Amino acid sequence: MSESAGSAGPELLYFEDVQVGQRFHSGPYTVRAAEIRAFAAQFDPQPFHLDEQAARGSLFGGLVASGWHTAAITMRLSLEAGPRFAAGTVGLGADVTWQRPVRADDTLHVQVEVIDKVASESKPDRGRVVMRIETRNQRGEVAQVLIPRVWVPRRAAASA
Amino acid sequence: MSESAGSAGPELLYFEDVQVGQRFHSGPYTVRAAEIRAFAAQFDPQPFHLDEQAARGSLFGGLVASGWHTAAITMRLSLEAGPRFAAGTVGLGADVTWQRPVRADDTLHVQVEVIDKVASESKPDRGRVVMRIETRNQRGEVAQVLIPRVWVPRRAAASA
């Protein structure tokens, strides 16, 4: 965990509390081959996610995690890292880019940065917070960049 | 399954074969509460994904699937529906929007449409195919819109 890990503490953040530029870092998560295969069998049953032998002949040259598996792990690490929003982390949507494959025994961690916040013009009780979440491996290489848009309530509305 | 389900058959599609406007429909997939909780426990452990009682007091008013779970189910249904690309479905990235929650016992299906294809200018052996994948529930309501960008090899390169 880096210095800022858990800096949000148990305190819940409302829209007014969120600052563009805030950063949060997760602890590590090591992805095992069995987990890669199990996720793939359920959701993304392609040879390069399921079978080491078949994966060697693919464009990846070996077993790799489904991008959706990487995204799901990123969600887990982001929840642990923070920020902790008052209504939970309720995603409106996200843009995800897979830049490098995640391989068996890679150790991932995420860095979360708040990059924008937008008050709703039509609904005064809420706003949208945009983050940039980089998922890096043990060599510091970026495997995935995720830009989620999250629904966050305003404190004013909660106390009204 | 709709008429066009499996229309790609066993034939593998290269970049040249893909046509903008092609559509593919999946069969149904019913999401059970136990599966919603199991996915959430592993990847998105928030009360509204984990516990029916706690979820009733959340903004969702009941247990809902993680958006990442919906995305993963969409991947599964899309693979079954087609198109079947020559190198597999290798995602470069995607934009996802969650429009309505997925609740326990909802029956989902997806409609895939090819909306763009872009030849790589720097790498003549490949191109990018963009799809629009709508995930709808049993009432025809759109729960999620996914716009994936997929890496697809050119036939010319394969036969060279």
Q: Does A5 contact chain B (CB < 8 Å)?
A: no
Q: Is residue B4 part of a domain?
A: no
Of B45, B73, B87, the CB nearest to A43: B73
Q: Is residue B5 part of a domain?
A: no
Q: Is residue A3 part of a domain?
A: no
Q: Tell me what the mean pLDDT of segment B97-107 comes to.
A: 97
Take residue A22 and report the two structure tokens written for it: 């805030």
Query: Is residue B65 a part of any domain in this protein?
Result: yes
Q: Model confidence over A20-73: pLDDT tens digits?
A: 999 999 999 999 999 999 999 999 999 999 999 999 988 899 999 999 999 999
For residues B89-105, average pLDDT: 96
The residue among A8 and A68 whose pLDDT is bigger is: A68
CATH number at B114 reads 3.10.129.10
The domain total for chain B is 1
Name every chain B residue with its beta carbon within 8 A of the beta carbon of A89.
46
User: Does the pLDDT at position A97 exceed 70?
Assistant: yes
Is the Cβ of B86 closer than 8 Å to some Cβ of chain A?
A: no
> What are the Cα distances from residue B98, in Å, to A111, A142, A150, B117, B151?
23, 25, 11, 24, 24
Q: What pLDDT does A159 receive? A: 59
pLDDT tier for residue B8 given thresholds of 50, 70 and 90: very low
- Is B7 part of any domain? no
If pLDDT is split at 50, 70 and 90, which confidence band does A160 have? low
User: What value does the mean pLDDT of chain B take?
Assistant: 91
Domain membership flag for residue A79 = yes
Q: Tell me the shortest Cα–Cα distance from A134 to chain B, in angstroms.
A: 14
B76 inside domain: yes
Instruction: Say if residue B37's pLDDT is above 90.
Output: yes
Window A:44-63, CB contacts with B under 8 Å = 44-48, 58-59
User: pTM of the prediction?
Assistant: 0.92
Is B2 inside a domain boundary? no
Q: What is the pLDDT of residue A44?
A: 97
| Of residues B145 and B87, more confidently modeled | B145
What residues make up the domain containing B95? Answer: 15-159
pLDDT tier at B10 (50, 70, 90 boundaries)? Answer: low
